[in-house]
Chains A and B, each alone.
Chain A
Amino acid sequence: QKEVEQDPGPLSVPEGAIVSLNCTYSNSAFQYFMWYRQYSRKGPELLMYTYSSGNKEDGRFTAQVDKSSKYISLFIRDSQPSDSATYLCAMSDGGTSYGKLTFGQGTILTVHP
């Protein structure tokens, strides 16, 4: 079983919809949680970065972390066609592993006009 599990989708929604993306993990040492967006044949682009449990909001994006359930989410409000991409969750324990990231497999999102 992988350390980080992410529903690969694909997910298709109409423009303006609220999108929910989720990851579960098994390593309780993870403390730093990230969401990256990756367009086709490009490198991952950092969207959100959170530490420990709680919520963080940035514009149309909200990241939630529930360490007790080992579950993280990314919500996208008022989704736009330009949000169509692969979304990757990533996490790190920040310490003993030198900050290396463990990724989910990515969720492919398509927002259609």
Chain B
Amino acid sequence: DTGVSQDPRHKITKRGQNVTFRCDPISEHNRLYWYRQTLGQGPEFLTYFQNEAQLEKSRLLSDRFSAERPKGSFSTLEIQRTEQGDSAMYLCASSDNRVSPQFFGPGTRLTVL
């Protein structure tokens, strides 16, 4: 399977705990995006990487959120001191240039108790 993969698919955690998600983009894609989707809403942009450089962050990405893409391959999204409002589907997408379509992974569903 050469699509975008995400791990884990589901994560249940207690409020205040830290969580980390991983995204593996399509291998030849140098652009990687993170989005967050809550129930009944469309995905909302969180952050963007071109190769290893994080070039844009949404105001939705509070100080508790950090994302990395070491060596321009896979990416991680960490949420520190989780809150119940962080419960959502976290989606990763990749593309090979700014005008190409983005292909999404299956998402990581986070539940904060």
Contact = CB atoms under 8 A, between A and B. Distances in A.
Interface of A: 4, 6, 8, 32, 34, 36, 41-46, 49, 51, 88, 90, 94-95, 97-106
Given A99-B31, A103-B43, A104-B42, A43 B99 contact: no
A102 B40 CA distance: 15
Interface of B: 4, 6, 31, 33, 35, 40-45, 48, 50, 55-56, 89, 91, 93, 95, 97-107, 109
B56 A97 contact: yes
Secondary structure of the B contact surface, majority rule:
strand
Of A44, A51, A103, most B-chain CB atoms within 10 Å? A44
Contacts of A36: 104
A105 B42 contact: yes
